[in-house]
Structure 1
Amino acid sequence: MFGNMISNMMVKPFQSPLFDDPKNYGLDYEDVEFKARDGVTLRGWLIKSGTDRIVVQSHFGVQCNRAGYCPKGKGFIKPWKEDISFLRQAKYLADHGYSVLMYDLRGHGESDIGTTPWVSWGPEEAKDVVAAVDFVSKHPSYRDAGIGLLSICMGAASTTYAYSLEDGLQNYPNIKAMIAVQPLLYSYFVDAFGMPGFLQRAGSKVTTERLGFDLNTKSFLPCVKDISVPTMVVQNKNDPWTNLDMVNAYFDNLTVEKEMVWLDVEKNRFAAYDYVGRSPEKLMGWFDRLVAPAH
């Protein structure tokens, strides 16, 4: 019983319905859908502004979707008590001439469930990042656009795994830069979360049976060296749910132009997710400098 309960907390899909809409921000957009290489249909918003630069935004996992995070329905103990709308940074980007693709990873929001019907914390979702980049690369309006990747938590893990796939992101020279917000390994999260060992073991046993691999030993760190575009890493130094040595290792393993941004915000992991939308100008200069038209 405990094993199923803990595993459900960590890998059960569709824990967060959409709660926001680009109309609330006066944005020009269209609903879109596209398929990952394994046939899974993904859905999102294509927010339309300039045609020479576009940002592909990949959200964090389990309790999130393309709209962001909403505390409604998250139980008695909520990691953040207000909505975190990712449309805030999309609005900023659109106002500065970027189009933005915001999409739901498999098992989240309005996208279909994956061929593995559980959230994998990045290995399966990597296919979705590739599909999103492929979609905008082939879109008539954006074939010549430079692409920036805004990848948040599990989105950052998925993007990192996507650079190590044989048909992965390294095959898209139109990607010009990435911002990785708080990349996180499952094992460090569970340890930092303070879960008793017997619950960790019970949950891990069920999750390993569900996914076919052990999340405690699966790591994107060996894939970081494959990232081929300038990358900014953003991390709240007061984040109680991670291991800062792991974040430093991620940064150290990058072999491209890079910048480390340490935020000094509230002692809550979600504070950094909130910061991205509240102070986008402090981060998006990375894209302004690097994301130029593909040709």
Structure 2
Amino acid sequence: MTSLKDIPEDKLTIVKGLAAFAVKPAFRTPVHKTPRDHGITEFEDIYFQSDDGTPLEGWYVPAAGGESDKLIIMNHPMPMSRSGFTGHWGEPWSNVDDLEIDFVAILAHLVRAGYNVLSYDLRNHGNSGTANGGICGIGRYEWRDCVGVKAYVDAHPRLSNMTLGLYSQCTGGNAQYEAIYRRPDLFKDVRCLFSPLVVSMDALMGTFAGLQGVREYMDVMNFEQTKLGGFTNPEMTPHLFAGAVQIPTMITQVHDDAWTTQEDGQQTFDLLGSNEKELFWIEGTSRRFDGYNYFGQNPERMLAWFGKYMG
């Protein structure tokens, strides 16, 4: 590893800042919107436990016009919440991106299309509990939350009888892949998975390091992440678990994403174990956060995917 004494002080400060962002975000994104903001008044706050006992919070939103027999479980990226992201509020969120992300818009499209939706905050995010010293594993701890929500559904007198699909994105998607890898029995009844913007942290943090002139110090970044109690960047990738995902899966990525690489997204897709899979590239932007809003503004492809497999 590069010796710390050989790194200029200003460069080391950048590396340590990137390492902290990767494994322990300095802020939470609040649950800044609810279904009411999209005209949906019928929903309830729910709470349940992750597989390791971490308390999780979310919403259950029945389909418009009355509860249906189809359920979609939604989760979210780091450092967001089930409602999205508040970059438009200014610092500290705007230090990542100054865009508002509205995941409730996506939820609303699903509800109006006849799906019940269960949307929840991952550990250390939104209104859910703190765990693992506040460390984010980009899926490596959060898979336990995916197991917890599925166990909650399976134990519920009504939800357990519903046809099930998953909307698992970025960190939440990485977590879902590992949950399926570790507990294939629990997810064998899932009809399909919609998987926006899953990412390997080597690709993401390598790009950030390059933009800030410290790409040559990735080994030091990994060391700093370990010191903080987190995982190294090569350990935080959906590639390790994608082969276990054998349900029909659509991955979506921003084609010209300035924060990561096309190769990473393509490799995740290629590694998927499913015989029924699609990769959709979002065109016309290099801004990753536009990809998170895409299906709130353009729901047709998402609705077609769930319609194909959930009836």
- TM-score calculated relative to the size of structure 1: 0.91
Q: Secondary structure at the match of 1:252?
A: helix
Q: Is it true that 1:244 corresponds to 2:258 in the alignment?
A: no
Q: Which residue in the other structure is 2:201 paired with?
A: 186
CA contact (8 A) 2:23 2:231 kept: no
Q: Distance in 1 between matches of 2:184 and 2:72?
A: 14
CA contact (8 A) 2:43 2:60 kept: yes
Which amino acid counterpart does residue 178 of structure 1 have in structure 2?
Answer: L
CA contact (8 A) 1:6 1:199 kept: no
Q: Secondary structure at the match of 2:123?
A: coil
Q: Distance in 2 between matches of 1:188 and 1:66?
A: 25
CA contact (8 A) 1:265 1:272 kept: no
Q: Distance in 2 between matches of 1:253 and 1:189?
A: 19
Residue 212 of structure 1 and its aligned partner are, at CA, apart by: 5.2
Q: 1:145 to 1:209 in 2, by over 3 A?
A: same
Q: Is it true that 1:67 corresponds to 2:83 in the alignment?
A: yes
What's the Cα RMSD here?
2.0
Q: Which residue in the other structure is 1:291 paired with?
A: 310
Which amino acid counterpart does residue 121 of structure 1 have in structure 2?
Answer: I
Q: Distance in 2 between matches of 1:277 and 1:170?
A: 32
Q: Which residue in the other structure is 2:56 paired with?
A: 42
Q: Percent identity over the alignment?
A: 26
- TM-score calculated relative to the size of structure 2: 0.86
Which of 150, 153, 175 aligns to 2:190? It is: 175
Q: Distance in 2 between matches of 1:183 and 1:286?
A: 18
Which amino acid counterpart does residue 204 of structure 2 have in structure 1?
Answer: F
Q: 1:98 to 1:209 in 2, by over 3 A?
A: same
Residue 170 of structure 1 and its aligned partner are, at CA, apart by: 4.1
Residue 123 of structure 1 and its aligned partner are, at CA, apart by: 0.7
Q: Is it true that 1:142 corresponds to 2:155 in the alignment?
A: no
Q: Is it true that 1:215 corresponds to 2:233 in the alignment?
A: yes
Q: Is it true that 1:132 corresponds to 2:146 in the alignment?
A: no
Q: Secondary structure at the match of 1:81?
A: coil
Q: Secondary structure at the match of 1:216?
A: helix
Which of 19, 22, 28 aligns to 1:10? It is: 22
Question: Mean Cα displacement is larger for which, 202-211 or 248-257?
Answer: 202-211
Q: 1:87 to 1:77 in 2, by over 3 A?
A: closer
Which amino acid counterpart does residue 6 of structure 1 have in structure 2?
Answer: L
Q: Is it true that 1:53 corresponds to 2:70 in the alignment?
A: yes
Cα distance per residue 1:105-147 (max 9 Å; x no partner): 0000000011343111111001101111222222222111111
CA contact (8 A) 2:137 2:231 kept: no
Q: 1:134 to 1:201 in 2, by over 3 A?
A: same
CA contact (8 A) 1:38 1:115 kept: no
Q: Secondary structure at the match of 2:22?
A: helix
Q: Secondary structure at the match of 2:58?
A: strand
Q: Distance in 2 between matches of 1:230 and 1:247?
A: 17
Q: Secondary structure at the match of 2:166?
A: strand
Residue 61 of structure 1 and its aligned partner are, at CA, apart by: 0.6
CA contact (8 A) 1:170 1:227 kept: no
Q: Which has the higher helix share?
A: 2
